[in-house]
Amino acid sequence: MESSFSSSQIRASFPANRSCRKKDFGRKFPGFFNVKAASKLSKQRRPQNIEGEFYVDERCIDCDTCRWMAPQVFKRIDEQAAVYKQPLHGEERRKALQALLSCPTSSIHTESPPYDIQEVQRTFPIPIDGKKLPGVYYCGYHSEKSFGATSYLIVHPEGNIMVDSPRYTEHLAKRIEMLGGARYMFLTHRDDVADHAKWSRRLRCDRILHSLEVQIDTADVEMKLDGDGPWTVGPDFEIICTPGHTEGSSCLFYKPMKTLFTGDHIAARSDKSFSIFEMYNCDSVITQLDNVQKLLELDFLWILPGHGRRAEFKDTNEKNSALIHFLADKGHF
């Protein structure tokens, strides 16, 4: 795969690790969480769970993962997840167990060990949409270190790409290896790097991160992007610089699949509106909105975000009018 990265000198010192979410915001906004509060809580069953086999414990950080993975089973009750309907069998149970494995704080439990857990482990990574997005997978296994962020795997004939870092597990590593491993790990920004070093060692993939996002624990990433791009990775991928959430936040545009991996630049909400996570902004909301406007020029139909919900549009017009509507709502168009 041809790449056109600009090289950067490793600076003598890097900023200490800091993120946009290690703040005591409380649980005001589903999809994010309060690390400080989570660490103090117990693994006890929340009373808000319906009686039965599956339950969520008190350590739930309200990251929203289980609710979009298995919406028939999990709901937000009193600012945390809870089981509101026990999964019966088949797909419902499989999705509930996929959520159990993906929960960043391992807050989902069953009363007895699930007999089919190994079978469910083998379902990862999970195709996003086998027909519309062949070769695009959701990795699951969210990490508390990346605030529960979602990561992806793109299987591509010229080398697979991981987008952001899942929690490191050998089960997932073996499955990814069976799909051809990874040549690159694209990191959208500093918050969602989780176990990047373990993945890079295990899969021998080169990590790509904007130099403005590099911190002590990412000082040795193989490819540091300088400037404002765009950068191409072979003929099918473009890295788009979209600062605002953080100074060097970037998106990966998979052109043939019309898919944009957005990190925390923009995501859908459960009600289909958009969010740019203002309360977790680390750089400039105005700059972020400017860079949301920039997305009008890109021909994509899918948003696959780090936090928040996915979005799919039926055509460019629908995508652009949704973005314009969002920008107008923010007084930015």
Q: How far apart are the first and last CA of the chain?
A: 38
Cβ closer to Zn ion: 108 or 267?
267
Residue whose CB is nearest to Zn ion in the complex, by number: 191
Cβ closer to Zn ion: 108 or 225?
225
Would you give the DSSP letter of residue 216? Answer: G
Q: Considering the complex, what minimum distance in angstroms separates the CB of residue 75 from Zn ion?
A: 25
Q: Cα–Cα distance between 129 and 45 in angstroms, integer?
A: 34
Cβ closer to Zn ion: 109 or 245?
245
Q: Considering the complex, what minimum distance in angstroms separates the CB of residue 281 from Zn ion?
A: 9
Cβ closer to Zn ion: 62 or 264?
264
Q: Considering the complex, what minimum distance in angstroms separates the CB of residue 137 from Zn ion?
A: 22
Q: Could you tell me the two tokens for 64?
A: 């929203």
Q: Considering the complex, what minimum distance in angstroms separates the CB of residue 305 from Zn ion?
A: 10
Cβ closer to Zn ion: 64 or 191?
191
| Bridge partner list, 207 | 185
Cβ closer to Zn ion: 32 or 137?
32
| Spatial contact of 304 and 133, defined as CB atoms under 8 Å apart | no
Q: Cα–Cα distance between 303 and 128 in angstroms, integer?
A: 12
Residues 6+ apart with CB under 8 A from 308: 31, 64, 267, 268, 269, 275, 277
The two beta strands, 184-186 and 161-163, are parallel
Q: Considering the complex, what minimum distance in angstroms separates the CB of residue 251 from Zn ion?
A: 12
Task: Kindly report the length of the chain.
Answer: 333
CA distance to 90, 127, 175, 313, per residue, from 96 (Å): 10, 17, 20, 27
Binding residues (CB under 5 A) for Zn ion: these are 20, 191, 264
Residues 6+ apart with CB under 8 A from 117: 97, 101
Q: Considering the complex, what minimum distance in angstroms separates the CB of residue 30 from Zn ion?
A: 16
Q: Considering the complex, what minimum distance in angstroms separates the CB of residue 174 from Zn ion?
A: 29
Cβ closer to Zn ion: 74 or 261?
261
Residues 6+ apart with CB under 8 A from 201: none
In degrees rounded to 5, what are phi and psi of residue 328?
-65, -40
